Structure 1
Amino acid sequence: MDVFNVTDQHGNKIEDEVVLDYIRNVLVSESSIPVSTESTGLNPSTEHTTIELLGSDRPGLISDVSAVLTDLGCNIVNGEVWTHNTRAASLIQITDADTGSAISDPIRLSNLKELLNNLLNCNDESRNAKTMVCHEVRHPTRWLHQMMLNDRDYDCSDHDKLSDQDEEKRLPTVEIDKWRDNDYSVVIIRSKDRPKLLFDTVCTLIDMGYVVFHGNVDAEGPEAYQLMYGSSKEYYIRHRDGQPLETDGERERLMKCLRAAIRRGVSEGLRLELCTADRVGLLSDVTRILREYGLTLTRAEVTTDGGKVANTFYVRNALGCPVDSRTIDSIRESIGKSELKVKGSPEDEIRPVAQESPTRAG
């Protein structure tokens, strides 16, 4: 039996029966629980077309991508953009700007794919870029994790490495031990708590071919302490064939992948929220303005519902430092003060974080 003690995003007890009923329905539905990479909710969609993008992070990347899609008569209705360790990954759901439905014309899709791939490859000499067009519905967070895991974003390039002291301060702690009397491996994770931390780490273990038989999570206070280990009865992980981790190389790779999974989910930078009426080319215009003011995106979420958009952008300046308050005021004047809200203030980000990437997907 699994037991979860949960709260809402504000740390309060969940008393809304609608929310509780939703949780019950999801937990009892076997179809809602993906068990492997190959079975992650591959359902066809007739409402939109999904574009999967993966390549090197650079300034203005999302601005360029959204401009190309707008020029090709596409409307961006939903999307997520992640940046980590010099790489950028994105899932963008588009519709035909005229019909509002999914795009199925193979010639048009081929042209779209070619143009986007050229954008990704123009600054990607060392690693291959990737552009995929699909009509499937998947869990976006799980999908993005799998994209970046397969891209080996957990391998840090030489110029991107921090000093030992900085690395120790910034990275989550991951330890892996083998209990000789039992055929399982112990994984201990210590990290600052945040939403979806458990989801990110467990899904990474599953996607790498491990089975989590039991776990204990203590998220009291600012640090989350996750203990995932096992025996024949409780608390252990194994390969799907029942074997524990055998080599130092395998343990090192797993530790890197778990650290990367945790860091991917961290939203770094100043949070901007855009709420306004949807229109074709909106994302292109907004990201262009951010780019013109020297800001880069570290993360973005695009959502459309009932003709309204609710977009979230996390931004920094080109050096990876907090954004000047005067710059934010100018951007709000350009976009609209009533539409663009600042969550927190530039002064809240008083401590620059050493960059994972020399550039960002602005």
Structure 2
Amino acid sequence: MASRDRHPHLNQVDSANRKGILLEMVQVLTDLDLIISKSYISSDGGWFMDVFHVTDEAGKKLADEKLLLHIQQELCATRSKGEICGDRELGNWKGAEEQHAATATATATEKTALEMSGRDRAGLLSELSAVLVELGCSVTSVTAWTHNDRVACIIFLEEASEAGPISDPKRLAQVEEQLQNVVAAHSGTGERKSVRLTTLGAGRTHTERRLHQLMYANRDYENCHGEHKKGCDGTHVYVGRCEDKGYLVVNVTSMDRPKLLFDTVCVLTDMHYVVFHAAISSNRSIAHQEYFIRHSMDSSGLPSESEKQKLTLCLTAAIERRVSRGLRVDIGTENRMGLLSNVTRVFRENGLSISRVEIGREGKKAVGSFFVRDCSGEEEVNPNILELVRRETGGSLVTHHNSPHRVRQSSSSSASSIIHESKESIEAKPRSSLGRMLWSRLERLSAGFRPVRSG
């Protein structure tokens, strides 16, 4: 990897090509809270070349030399190690984690995680957290997404009496059975749902990557129609064919936001598509992505129309999942047993539903965000309810109106303001292919690259 001192910061990766390397690189940059404003990708043949234009969260140039060195080290390490945290096949993901937990050091850092997916309903998180309190389990962090009436969440647990994972198999079976009863209580016959407790290695499990897998397995994409129904947030996907090269050409236009590239590459990986070339850019608050892809498991030729339609729906769903509708409520308070249960109970008893949650521990404090709305879907919340939440937490409480069409600015525009752009304004813009820009840029860059074997 080479770096150039310019605005935005340019990261170039040159490596032997292998399965999953693109997602690995994007995940590294995303986890460092960097904004990828542009990217040019080529992996046709036995080598991989990627160029990332990145800034910090405020859209400013990266000036910290220690951070730049850390980015270089992380990308080089990822290029060489041949694995990606949380990137497991759904069928054998647990087994892969267990294989990695062989050493005493790994055992000391293991965590017990509840993975749940199914149909969303009001009060579900409140009921799950209440049962965990009754069973003597303490919640250390929770991340939950909802989309198209489906929900997926990962809750990390430990015994309330002592820190550390729940190791007794009988104890694990008891907790899992009680949680399954909660989810099954309001589920229809044959409805897709999944509840399991598993032991995960700390630092080897990427929560958001896993949530994408759970939502995809739960088929949350089925109700996101290709006509871009109201609520699809201006996400437009077009899938065409490049007959002479045997590629599918995928064009995606959507509102720009952090982690957009990561979300898109996740679904392509889950659907077993290989990205051979790509170009990504943002124009103020609009992002354009173009991919040249093939299916890794289909040697018979280009996919059918039904498969193209599924790809369209899955890409739209992956982009929508992270869009947070509702009032954002940030909390910061002293962590204690039953805190999650108490807060979610207040929301449930006052007719508010939770659309997204990100809560964790920082030292002895519990910090994070809830996104809530009333039963009609509106984000206006009675201030008296928020006061009840503040009293319940005993800490700080900050609210933000979080319209799905308000996005963080990319590096190409002012970072001090928030832009609002309607879905109609996206639809009015012509879809411009990035292919010519991709090829010209890659042709110039390729002169400075050469294949490098990963160690």
Q: TM-score under structure 2 normalisation?
A: 0.69
Q: Which amino acid aligns with 2:391?
A: S
Residue 97 (structure 1) shift: 0.7
- Name the % identity: 36
Q: Write out aligned runs for 1:1-362 (5 A).
A: 1-30=49-78, 31=81, 33=84, 37-38=88-89, 42=97, 43-44=100-101, 46-126=109-189, 127-137=191-201, 138-156=205-223, 166-167=229-230, 170-229=233-292, 236-240=293-297, 245-335=302-392, 338-344=395-401
Between the aligned partners of 2:300 and 2:385, the Cα distance in structure 1 is 54
Bigger shift: residues 69-78 or 36-45: 36-45
- Contact 1:51–1:132 at 8 Å: present in 2 too? yes
CA distance 1:244–1:287, change in 2 (3 Å): farther
CA distance 1:220–1:33, change in 2 (3 Å): farther
Partner of 1:48: helix, strand, or coil?
strand
CA offsets per residue over residues 296-334 of structure 1, 9 Å max, x none?
Answer: 100001111222211211111111102235245433553
Instruction: Give the match for residue 356 of structure 1.
Output: none
Residue 345 (structure 1) shift: 8.0
CA distance 1:6–1:293, change in 2 (3 Å): same
Between the aligned partners of 2:254 and 2:184, the Cα distance in structure 1 is 35
Q: Which amino acid aligns with 1:136?
A: L
After superposition, the CA RMSD in angstroms is 2.8
CA distance 1:168–1:91, change in 2 (3 Å): closer
- Contact 1:201–1:261 at 8 Å: present in 2 too? yes
Q: Which amino acid aligns with 2:215?
A: M
Partner of 2:336: helix, strand, or coil?
coil
- Contact 1:121–1:128 at 8 Å: present in 2 too? no
Between the aligned partners of 2:363 and 2:395, the Cα distance in structure 1 is 19
CA offsets per residue over residues 107-145 of structure 1, 9 Å max, x none?
Answer: 111111111111111111051321111112421111111
Between the aligned partners of 1:306 and 1:244, the Cα distance in structure 2 is 54
Between the aligned partners of 1:208 and 1:257, the Cα distance in structure 2 is 9
Instruction: Give the match for residue 232 of structure 1.
Output: none
Structure with max Cα Rg: 2
- Contact 1:271–1:315 at 8 Å: present in 2 too? yes
Where do 5+ consecutive residues of structure 2 fail to align? 1-48, 102-106, 407-419, 424-455
CA offsets per residue over residues 32-86 of structure 1, 9 Å max, x none?
Answer: 6369533878344544201101121111110111111111111110121111111
CA distance 1:321–1:334, change in 2 (3 Å): same
Bigger shift: residues 24-33 or 247-256: 24-33
Q: TM-score under structure 1 normalisation?
A: 0.86
Partner of 2:52: helix, strand, or coil?
coil
Where do 5+ consecutive residues of structure 1 fail to align? 230-235, 354-362
